[in-house]
């Protein structure tokens, strides 16, 4: 399937939700199911789902993968961006002016090898850098809120800041550094005892 993001004129009349689950080899069928159920009641919303290695969804606009340029165009045009808990995808969504709605992969559902996406996403959620959704009800509420008032999910530009992209990358990097340092301390502490 060739992905075509909506033209700018469509953005004003047709709400457009872009969902990106990344390229990890683990399936994210739980999120796919949540989105299928949500979209069934909202046929007027354009939902584009990059589903990776998950099961192909029963949605009209689904693609396993998007190239980097396609992803950039899609994010730039989207009304809302939903992301897995991957740092790169979250950073890209923020760079394009979105407060991303983030659903971290859960290793207890075999969606990833460990809980780093949950830890990272929770940290960003607490800092107000993402809208964290760890349940179907939270995701539905965030999507409906975002469609009712898209401005709540747009990052405000601050002309006094030298480069908002660099600041976003630095903030995400600081969170990653802190999480890695904690993990190292936990592992070192476990070896002593």
Provide DSSP, 35-84. Answer: HHHHHHT-TTSEEEEE-TTSPPPSSSEEES---HHHHHHHHHH-SEEEE-
Find the mean pLDDT for residues 8-17. Answer: 68
Asked if residue 8 belongs to a domain, the reply is no
pLDDT classification of 15: cutoffs 50, 70, 90: very high
Asked if residue 175 belongs to a domain, the reply is yes
Mean pLDDT of the chain: 87
Instruction: Give residue-wise pLDDT tens across range 72-106.
Output: 999 999 999 999 999 999 999 999 999 999 999 99
What's the number of domains the chain is made of? Answer: 1
Domain that holds residue 43: 16-190
Asked if residue 137 belongs to a domain, the reply is yes
Percent of the chain with pLDDT over 70: 84
Q: What pLDDT is stored for residue 157 in this prediction? A: 55
Q: What is the pTM of this model?
A: 0.77
| Sequence-separated (6 or more) residues with CB below 8 Å from residue 106 | 30, 112, 115, 118, 134
- CA dist 135 and 160 (Å) reads 37
Asked if residue 45 belongs to a domain, the reply is yes
Asked if residue 161 belongs to a domain, the reply is yes
Asked if residue 32 belongs to a domain, the reply is yes
Asked if residue 49 belongs to a domain, the reply is yes
- CA dist 145 and 101 (Å) reads 11
DSSP state of 129: S
List the CATH number of the domain containing 148.
Answer: 3.40.50.2000
pLDDT classification of 163: cutoffs 50, 70, 90: low
Asked if residue 59 belongs to a domain, the reply is yes
Q: Which residue has the higher pLDDT, 5 or 66?
A: 66
């Amino acid at each position: 399937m060739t992905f075509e993001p909506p033209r700018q004129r469509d953005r004003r009349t047709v709400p457009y939700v872009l969902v990106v689950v990344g390229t990890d080899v683990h399936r994210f069928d739980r999120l796919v199911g949540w989105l299928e159920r949500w979209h069934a009641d909202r046929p007027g919303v354009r939902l584009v789902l990059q589903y990776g290695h998950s099961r192909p969804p029963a949605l009209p606009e689904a693609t396993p993968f998007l190239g980097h340029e396609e992803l950039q165009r899609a994010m730039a045009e989207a009304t809302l961006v939903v992301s897995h808990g991957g740092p790169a995808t979250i950073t890209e969504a923020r760079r394009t002016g979105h407060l991303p709605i983030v659903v971290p992969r859960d290793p207890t559902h075999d969606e990833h090898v460990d809980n780093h996406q949950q830890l990272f996403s929770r940290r960003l959620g607490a800092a107000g850098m993402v809208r964290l959704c760890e349940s179907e009800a939270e995701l539905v509420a965030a999507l409906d809120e975002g469609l009712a008032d898209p401005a709540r999910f747009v990052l405000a530009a601050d002309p006094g800041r030298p480069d908002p992209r660099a600041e976003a990358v630095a903030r995400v990097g600081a969170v990653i550094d802190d999480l890695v340092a904690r993990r190292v301390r936990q592992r070192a502490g476990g070896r002593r005892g």
